[in-house]
Structure 1
Amino acid sequence: MDQYSAEKGLAIFYPLIILLSFICTVCSTVLWNHWKYVLDLCPETNCGCFLYGRSTYSTYEGGHIAYCHFAAYGMVFPIIFSLIFGSYHVYRVCMGKGKPRTGTATVRQRSCEVVVVTTEAEMLYNEISPNYWKPATVVSCFMLLYMLVYSSIYTDGFETSCKQYRETVLKQIQGFGNIVPVIKGRLSCAAIFDFMDYLEKEIVTWDRRRYGRINSAACFYITLVGAWMIVFSWLIITVINIIQLRRSRALRV
């Protein structure tokens, strides 16, 4: 993989990470703001988060608010680093030179004969300093691990809330008999969170009244898929940076 091809790949994946991070942030924030008063039923702590919810004897409580802070604001680092590196590579790919181009040259000989010569040559590409790839590789490795932690926490919190709300659904519909294995084993988490949208009682406060409902399952899954797509994108970026780091090893002084 030459440097021009590597930068073309980076110019695609960095903007993709920015877009996915923005979508994940919006969906997480919508979920958080929609459920933070309804699920905050803990007497001593703020537990209005949609992640890591738990079913109690009579209610369904949310997880600690710190999980929602991490879900909503955790995408700041991917956006910042992707914006910095992505702007650089997009500019170089769009403004740089690297494709073979055909040109003509006119040569006038002493006999006054004009000879037109057609040549095809590859324009010299303004290569990046070999020392650039080391910090870029370190940052991409860090962001890969960071997003792996983020996605794992979100996935675990999502599955925990889904499992716990299955118990709440059984209590609210007073299910027994064959309905129990259906609720616990057959229905998808999307269906369970549809129950949550329509069955969970809303606590309406005087300062912030909520009207209508949202599709909580859609927000959950969009954030979940987007987070793992960001992990995959950082993995590809890390591989590209490592290849270019090894390729430029002989040029570093």
Structure 2
Amino acid sequence: MTTNTLTAGKVETTTDDLGIATISFFHPAHNSLPSSLLTELASTISTVGQQAETKVIILRSEGERTFCAGASFDELMAIQDEAQGLAFFSGFAQVINACRTCHKVIIGRVQGKAIGGGVGVAAATDYCFATTQAAVKLSELVVGIGPFVVGPAVERKIGSAAYAQLALDAAEFRPATWAKERGLYAELFDTAAELDAAVQAFAEKLARYNPEALTALKQVFWEGTAHWDTLLVERAGISGRLVLSEFTRQAIQAFKSK
């Protein structure tokens, strides 16, 4: 039996007695994110962030080797017009903006490689822990598009020079140590068990702080980004046009066949 990769996957949420809400996503194709999962993930982040019992949010994925492989290649190949392209890439905009506007601090838990949109998701968290296996790559240029939607989040976190390095050297992974040195990751751990212990301890610490102070502090962190509501959609339109080009079609097909 074959799996429909456009409808596979899930988003799950649990909240413990301390008010620590854990949002977990999964997709069998290396935690890639088709439109349905992007929409569900954005909605879940917004909903959980508005719940009074939530003190802090942990954002994570399932599995061991890959945190998030970014866009679904099957869905990219299925895009037939600019409207569909805009709608798909706007999904990443929705997730990033949901993280940005969420009233609660979001802790990222990155256990493996982050690729393309996955780097953007990690960058949209407020404080991110990772393992030493959590290498990063913005691979969009390899397949004929660019990291337009996730770019503002990544650039905000690591700076314009490092963002340009990632965006242009699109075929190469940068090690987790490189990402930590530039501020994407706050701390690195050798094992997933050590990572989970650190994430939990930090979440418990935040859950004991004044929630109003945390909300106000998060708003300060994200000052100057209110225009992202329109900026990221505009950037999605660029990717939505580029994905229709013959160059991109052939590049994606070649990438998939490797």
TM-score, normalised via structure 1 length: 0.29
Q: Which has the higher helix share?
A: 1
Q: Which has the higher strand share?
A: 2
TM-score, normalised via structure 2 length: 0.28
